[in-house]
Amino acid sequence: MIVEQTDVDAFFGELDYPMYVVTTRAGDDRAGCLVGFSTQTSIDPPRFLVCISEVNATARTVSAATHVAVHQIKRTDKELARLFGEESEDWTDKFAQCAWHDGPHGVPLLDGAAAWFVGEIAERLDLGDHCGLVLVPVAVGDRSDGDILTFQQLADLDAGHPA
């Protein structure tokens, strides 16, 4: 049976899931992008998977990084999601356009995030056109009230680097 790409796209397009901004640092390079492909993969030990498109500037920086920060974004802060989802470090400095500070292991923490955790990269998986990062949480901050941005609320954004 041949699967039509348009049918697959229609199925995936109906899904909804939390959106995150994933940031990282390697040496003097900082990077981060909006990520929807992600899930908790284990309870004990705690593990979380985020998937980074190979064409994103973030993929280059994270290839030399040991840790990332995963941020939940407030529903009222679509502008922060837009900055990290539509712009690329390839042509702009995102970190000059938002408030952040150095977090554990030097990863940039976004001041406006609803909640965040920092994860150590335990494994890197070849998942097609995305690289899967299996994360071990090493620090957690802030508490979200659950009112966070999800994919369907951001479906009108144009990704900076279409995968």
Ligand X SMILES: Cc1cc2nc3c(=O)[nH]c(=O)nc-3n(C[C@H](O)[C@H](O)[C@H](O)COP(=O)(O)O)c2cc1C
Single-letter code of the amino acid located at 4: E
Q: Which of 85, 103, 108, 119 binds ligand X (CB under 6 A)?
A: 85
Q: Which of 24, 25, 36, 118 binds ligand X (CB under 6 A)?
A: 36
> Which span (40-48, 50-58, 96-104, 133-141) binds ligand X, by CB under 6 A?
50-58
Query: Residue 31: helix, strand or coil by DSSP?
Result: strand
Q: Which residues pair with 24 in a beta bridge?
A: 31, 68
Residues comprising the chain, all counted: 163
Task: Looking at the chain, list the stretches that DSSP marks H as alpha helix, in order from N- to C-terminal side.
Answer: 5-13, 57-62, 78-86
78 part of the interface to ligand X, by CB under 6 A = no
Q: φ and ψ at 57, to 5 degrees? A: -55, -35
Nearer to ligand X, 86 or 120 (CB): 86
121 part of the interface to ligand X, by CB under 6 A = no
Count interface residues toward ligand X (CB under 6 A): 24
Q: Which of 26, 134, 139, 157 binds ligand X (CB under 6 A)?
A: 157
Characterize the bridge pairing of strands 115-126 and 130-141. Answer: antiparallel
d(CA 59, CA 68): 11
Residue nearest to ligand X (CB): 160
Contact footprint for ligand X (CB under 6 A): 31, 33-37, 51-53, 56-58, 85-90, 151, 154, 157, 159-161
